């Protein structure tokens, strides 16, 4: 039986892992970036488990120069400095490999590619099947019937194994060694191999296929014409040098023998210690079972940025405007021998009688503050049955009130606690309080009084770390709480319902939750002051909790019949588009198959082909199709087909299924602390992405209607709020004056940039100015502007240069903001909300540039987020104080939607406008556009 040898290209895989989590790095509680180590270890485990190698090793480069550097000093010279976090991770990668007992092979004067090439060629002579684990395309030259490229899974694509047929097809060549010839002509920007000017991948492959090799091509340049012939003859030596640089050396004097690479027994104790040190919870459970888990399984949802949800399948190469952290149930790091309930003195009481409850209520009534935590049967507050409530107001002490199993009994017990829970004088403490307050709201009790949420507090104190209660307990209290799996079982196995667990067991678990949360409050409160987050917490986030609870409880009415009719219409349009596409393409094919679509567009219809994806297929994403829309009618039809398909599946079909049968309304869930800028996030369903720009998209908003004929929907939308905030933060007088004079800001900008009078601004000028206005907040480059506007980069650069010349205040704001970030490590909104930027001083220009763009953008988007949150709190309070029937229903970006009682509209309109305009005083005038109607579309 053949032996399986896996050779890993260490540095390539470590780089890949680090940047896979670029927007959401995996951080430990001590602020250590473990993205590279986690991703690399995950890949290692996947290979060992799924591929079961008999032999394995990892090859690394060294700092010593190679012959390639001697022959061509510019070899790899363009590469930027390694990011500091990645450099710091490398010793830990070595430690992890040592713990797994996997050989690390290095050889001064040679690259990892050469080591791998040498070993696979040796193995090829024996009874080995070899796999080169790397994302590097150069390794195609080594593939044979016994040697394969193994590309680990990324972005959900699954692993990719390339043999001879795949390499030949990918490169368009006849022999795998011709990969070297293609690279010699085409060059390789990642290694700074120059190649021949004017020759791209396709031309290189065509020439190699025609002439067989670079040497043969150079000997027969007389058969060529024009610029191609000139370039090849002028750069003959460069082509030959490029071939030498691209050739992987296969005779490295590497003293290690293949049998020394046999998979050995791992050092489990050391691995466990490393997993604990770096808080690799999921990997620990994956290797050692659920006993490694120290966290909750079926508990209130919590907001965490954690390795628990960090899978390559979740990563993206796209630049997202709004970065988010993961909302997930996440355990804390593996237990590091912290004390538990078994060895900690505590007084937890189970209360089951009215007399016992009355004594507790008496104590609660005398307090200024107490912590409470609900135990339920479901994470969906609408469905959750209340099993019990835990209380704590003294460290290491708590009370658990067990609820009767029948609804009437629960109602009776809650009635006993109503007064204390609704007492405005008493502060309520909890972890993810919105869940607990919502559960009680659906059970008829409205929690009142100031709120202190430890999850939200920590998300302001340490926004980049995890915020789960168990995690915080270990970090701040050095204490590991009871895992819920002890009560209801493992998520992967058969779980029982919390209501079926013995009350005595639930009491210990629940009272401990309340106790730990109470203790966390004492630790976190002074940190809010230390980090300057008191205003954001006490004036924005904490008061917003009951606002969101009420909005979620109200829900919004959706016309299911109208959506069903629209779904039928969309289905017909999809069918029409499909038939037309088949006619235009000349054949039928699977419209939803990227591979088949790519073949039709670029092989059959001969449209200008884009770069291929990592899997070797043609790119057929929306951006690619948009760039080709003017090339052929079939592309326009495809875009229309996709648009109709998305509308139908995401909204027309899905929204009616989200209608809660007991209310007939759609109840979304808002998350306060998911986005890095502080903007609210909507889920289950997401109502913040309802399209508005297309005519078809507007039909979706048309289905959102008032609760009855006595109400209308009212939409209040901040007008160009981010641009007004930019003007105010930068004190750019030219822009401020345009807003004060109520001149269209994009027209005003175009007039300045193109140096024309306002009436002479053309629609095209305004379009370009609008793109710059909005793009500046996101650090748009000349390249990015050129792409979006479809103009030459030189013209885009000139527009940006003129923009800054006319608006010097904005250029100064950007410079000053970056300097502040570099000095302090963070930027702030007007209210003081901080965005920490770990990479702002990175030596790696790409990494630092991303941090600089976030530095510019965060105060703008964050201030807009704070503004609408403050407005929501003030409007909600005013509606309650005036005892009005009008209710706030939705928050969508810079817009608020209300169910307005018709008789109150005259009173409510100015109230909403005033509260929105005065939420945060700015130098720029704030404008709010308000409309009302019998649908969201009509109101907007």
Give the pTM. 0.78
pLDDT tens-digit readout, 540-580: 999 999 999 999 999 999 999 999 999 999 999 999 999 99
| Long-range Cβ pairs for the range 440-446 (8 Å, 24+) | 440/374, 440/386, 440/414, 441/381, 441/549, 441/550, 441/553, 442/381, 442/382, 442/384, 442/553, 443/386, 443/410, 443/411, 443/414, 444/411, 444/414, 445/414, 445/417, 445/418, 445/421, 446/422
The predicted pLDDT at position 422 comes to 97
> CA dist 929 to 459, 692, 704, 713, Å?
33, 16, 19, 14
Question: What residues of the chain score a pLDDT lower than 50?
Answer: 293-336
CA distance 722 to 664: 36
- The answer to whether 713 touches 557, Cβ cutoff 8 Å, is no
**Three-state secondary-structure class, residue 931:** strand
Q: Give the CB-side neighbour count of residue 765, counting CA atoms within 13 A.
A: 19
The predicted pLDDT at position 445 comes to 97
The predicted pLDDT at position 417 comes to 98
The predicted pLDDT at position 842 comes to 83
CA distance 861 to 680: 11
The predicted pLDDT at position 500 comes to 67
Which tokens belong to 205? 């492959």
Helix ranges, 479-606 (H): 485-488, 503-530, 534-536, 542-554, 560-585, 594-598
Total residue length of the chain: 940
Angle at 326 between CA 325 and CA 327, to 5 degrees: 120
**50, burial (CB in 10 Å: exposed 0-12, middle 13-18, buried 19+):** exposed
Query: Is the Cα dihedral 583, 588, 592, 598 positive or negative?
Result: negative
CA distance 653 to 571: 11
Helices 542-554 and 845-881 cross at an angle (nearest 10°) of: 70
Strands 427-430 and 451-453, how do they pair?
parallel
Angle at 158 between CA 302 and CA 59, to 5 degrees: 100
CA distance 399 to 412: 18
CA distance 487 to 478: 23
pLDDT tens-digit readout, 715-739: 999 999 999 999 999 999 999 999 9
pLDDT tens-digit readout, 130-174: 999 998 888 999 999 999 999 987 655 678 899 999 899 888 899
DSSP-assigned letters across all residues of 727-758: HHHHT-HHHHHHHHTT--HHHHHHHHHHT--G
The predicted pLDDT at position 614 comes to 52
The predicted pLDDT at position 190 comes to 75
Cis check for the bond before 256: say yes or no (omega within 30 of 0): no
CA distance 340 to 344: 6
Helix ranges, 422-541 (H): 433-442, 454-461, 469-472, 485-488, 503-530, 534-536
**Helix/strand/coil percentages in the chain, nearest 5:** 50, 15, 35
The predicted pLDDT at position 337 comes to 63
């Amino acid at each position: 039986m053949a032996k399986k040898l896996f050779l890993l290209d260490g540095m390539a895989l470590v780089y890949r892992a680090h940047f896979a989590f670029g927007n959401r790095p995996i951080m430990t509680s001590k602020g250590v970036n473990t993205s590279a180590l986690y991703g690399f270890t995950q890949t290692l485990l996947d290979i060992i488990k799924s591929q079961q190698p008999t032999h394995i090793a990892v090859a690394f480069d060294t700092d010593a120069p190679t012959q390639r550097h001697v022959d061509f000093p510019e070899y790899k010279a363009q590469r930027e400095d390694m990011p500091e976090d990645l450099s710091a991770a490398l010793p830990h990668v070595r430690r992890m490999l040592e713990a797994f007992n996997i050989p690390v092979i290095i050889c001064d004067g040679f690259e990892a590619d050469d080591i791998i090439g040498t070993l696979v060629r040796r193995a090829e002579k024996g009874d080995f099947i070899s796999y080169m684990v790397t994302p590097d395309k150069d390794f195609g030259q080594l593939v044979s019937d016994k040697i394969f490229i193994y590309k680990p899974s990324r972005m959900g694509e699954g692993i990719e194994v390339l043999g001879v047929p795949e390499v030949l097809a990918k490169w368009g060549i006849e022999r795998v060694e011709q990969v070297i010839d293609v690279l010699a002509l085409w060059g390789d920007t990642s290694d700074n191999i120059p190649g021949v000017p004017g020759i791209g991948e396709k031309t290189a492959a065509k020439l190699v296929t025609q002439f067989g090799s670079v040497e043969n091509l150079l000997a027969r340049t007389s058969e060529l014409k024009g610029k191609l012939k000139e370039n090849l003859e002028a750069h003959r030596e460069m082509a030959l040098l490029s071939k030498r640089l691209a050739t992987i050396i296969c005779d490295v004097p590497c003293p290690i023998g293949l049998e020394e690479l046999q998979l050995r027994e791992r050092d489990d104790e050391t691995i466990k210690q490393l997993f604990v040190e770096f808080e690799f919870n999921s990997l620990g459970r994956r290797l050692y079972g659920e006993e490694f888990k120290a966290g909750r399984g079926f508990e209130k949802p919590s907001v965490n940025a954690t390795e628990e949800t960090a899978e390559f399948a979740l990563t993206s190469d796209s630049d997202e405007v709004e970065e988010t952290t993961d909302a997930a149930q996440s355990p804390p790091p593996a237990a590091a021998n912290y004390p538990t309930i078994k060895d900690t003195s505590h007084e937890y009481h189970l209360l089951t009688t009215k007399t016992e409850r009355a004594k507790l209520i008496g104590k609660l009534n005398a307090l200024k503050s107490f912590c409470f935590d609900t135990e339920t049967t479901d994470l969906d507050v609408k469905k959750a049955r209340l099993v019990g409530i835990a209380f704590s107001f003294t460290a290491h002490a708590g009370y658990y009130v067990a609820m009767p199993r029948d609804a009437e009994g629960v109602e009776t017990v809650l009635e006993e606690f109503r007064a204390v829970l609704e007492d405005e004088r008493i502060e309520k403490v909890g972890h993810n309080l919105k869940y607990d307050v919502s559960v009680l709201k659906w059970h008829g009790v409205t929690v009142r009084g100031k709120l202190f949420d430890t999850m939200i507090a920590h998300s302001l104190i340490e926004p980049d770390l995890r915020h789960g209660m168990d995690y915080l307990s270990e970090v701040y209290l050095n204490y590991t709480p009871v895992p819920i799996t002890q009560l209801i079982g493992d998520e992967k196995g058969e779980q029982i319902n919390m209501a079926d667990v013995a009350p005595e067991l639930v009491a210990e678990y629940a009272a401990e939750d309340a106790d730990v949360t109470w203790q966390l409050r004492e630790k976190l409160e002074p940190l809010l002051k230390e980090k300057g987050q008191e205003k954001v917490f006490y004036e924005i986030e904490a008061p917003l909790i009951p606002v969101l609870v009420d909005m979620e409880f109200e829900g919004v009415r959706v016309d299911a019949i109208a959506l069903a009719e629209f779904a039928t219409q969309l289905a017909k349009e999809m069918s029409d588009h499909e038939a037309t596409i088949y006619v235009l393409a000349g054949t039928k094919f699977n419209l939803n198959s990227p591979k088949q679509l790519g073949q039709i567009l670029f092989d059959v219809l001969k449209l200008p082909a884009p770069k291929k994806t990592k899997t070797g297929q043609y790119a057929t994403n929306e951006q690619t199709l948009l760039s080709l829309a003017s090339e052929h009618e079939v592309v326009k039809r495809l875009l229309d087909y996709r648009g109709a398909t998305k509308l139908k599946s995401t909204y027309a079909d899905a929204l009616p299924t989200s209608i809660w049968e007991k209310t007939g309304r759609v109840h979304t869930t808002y998350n306060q602390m998911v986005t890095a800028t502080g903007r609210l996030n909507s889920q289950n369903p997401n109502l913040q992405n309802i399209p508005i720009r297309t005519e078809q998209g507007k039909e979706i908003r048309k289905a959102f209607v008032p609760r009855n004929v006595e109400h209308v929907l009212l939409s209040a939308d901040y007008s160009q709020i981010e641009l007004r905030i930019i003007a105010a933060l930068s004190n750019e007088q030219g822009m401020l004056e345009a807003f004060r004079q109520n001149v269209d800001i994009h027209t005003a900008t175009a007039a300045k940039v193109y140096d024309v009078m306002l009436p002479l601004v053309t629609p095209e000028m305004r379009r370009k100015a609008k793109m710059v206005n909005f793009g500046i907040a996101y650090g748009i480059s000349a390249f990015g502007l050129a792409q979006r506007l479809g103009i030459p980069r030189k013209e885009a650069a000139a527009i940006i240069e003129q923009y800054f010349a006319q608006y010097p205040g904005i250029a100064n704001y950007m410079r000053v903001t970056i300097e502040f970030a570099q000095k302090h490590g963070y930027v702030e909104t007007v209210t003081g909300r901080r965005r920490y930027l770990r990479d702002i001083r990175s030596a790696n220009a790409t990494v630092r540039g991303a941090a600089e763009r976030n530095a510019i953008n965060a105060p703008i988007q964050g201030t807009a987020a704070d503004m609408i949150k403050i407005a929501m709190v003030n409007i909600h309070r005013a509606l309650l104080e005036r005892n009005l029937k009008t209710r706030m229903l939705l928050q969508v970006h810079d817009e608020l939607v209300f169910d307005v009682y018709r008789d109150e509209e005259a009173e409510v309109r100015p109230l909403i406008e005033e509260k929105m305009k005065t939420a945060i005083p700015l130098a720029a005038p704030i404008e709010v556009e308000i409309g009302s109607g019998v649908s969201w579309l009509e109101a907007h």
